[in-house]
Amino acid sequence: MSKNINFNINTLIIFAKLVECRSLSRAAEILGMPKSTVSRSISKLESDLGVKLLRKNTHQITVTDLGEKIYSHSLKILAEANDVRSLIEGSHLEPQGEIRAALPIFMGIDFATRVGSTFLQRFPKAQLDLRLVDNMVHPIKDGYDVVFGIGPLQDSTLFARKAFTLECFLCASSDFIATLGSTISVPSQLNQLPFIDFDFYGRSSKISLKKGKKSYDFSPMVRARANNFHVSKDYILRGLGFGIMPREIICSQELKLGVLVPLLPEWELESLDVFMICPFQLSLSNLINEFSRTVLEIVTENTKSIAGQ
């Protein structure tokens, strides 16, 4: 049975620097650690690998044949470590350059405009190509630096993290509710009412409501569909039916004014997780991180606005 070899990657970086300097004192100085620590690290690496890497005498350090091969690999690790350091240091600089981003069309033109203008005003050296898309796009295949969508793409070349969650609720216009002649108090009353469906990414029109341990599923009478919350909101405000809106975007002003009224507020709808997705190599880009931060900031502003009603 072959021996399971375990070693610390950091010791390879120390080894590479020692070979480069050919001096224990000089390597320790550059690495910012005591000579004894460097010496122990090399001894530990040789012990872990079970091979001799260096030949030391009072005058010089020489590298074994196998040590030279390991050194070439260590250089690559050292280069990658330096690239990471440069990337992090660069992240503290003002973002500059062009970013091509995609937001789902259901989030609406007003939201996209606020995100884009806020980002461009904040970072004068940045350029933004922002698109609203009605299908989930692939950052690499479709040529985007960053994409926001309701589900992470399963692809090892991509980096994805949840950016925020949209809490959705049932609503109708105050005028529409006035025409009903009775208060909506139970979900079954919605079955006979016209529904404005937000159809995006092939979402099912079936609606699931929860209240504690209770649940209620129904498929309302769809009068109109749109893949944009703004279009759906306009239909709802014109009294054409009830629908679903996200609390964090689109309708904060209408809720404040009372022209849009929540229905069955004690019943909860399934929330929508929105993910930020980008090529893995761009995951530490300060330009992308600042754009993502701006998106989240606008969502948060709307949420606070609603909470302060």
* Domains of the chain, residue spans: 9-91, 97-166+273-307, 168-270
Q: CATH number for the 97-166+273-307 domain, one of 3.40.190.10, 3.40.605.10, 3.10.20.30, 3.40.50.300?
A: 3.40.190.10
Q: What is the pLDDT of residues 79-136, one digit of tens each?
A: 777 666 656 655 667 788 899 999 988 787 888 999 999 999 999 999 999 999 878 8
Q: Which CATH class is domain 168-270?
A: alpha beta
- Kindly report the CATH number that applies to the domain delimited by 9-91: 1.10.10.10
Q: Among the residues of the chain, which ranges form H helices? A: 9-21, 24-31, 35-49, 65-91, 109-122, 174-180, 229-237, 252-257, 286-307
Would the pTM count as exceeding 0.85? no
Report the distance separating Cα 41 and Cα 24, nearest Å. 12
Q: What is the pLDDT of residues 4-40, one digit of tens each?
A: 667 777 888 888 888 888 888 888 887 888 888 988 9
CATH topology match: 9-91 vs 97-166+273-307: no
Mean pLDDT for 186-198 is 90
- Residue 176 CB burial class (10 angstroms; 0-12, 13-18, ≥19): buried
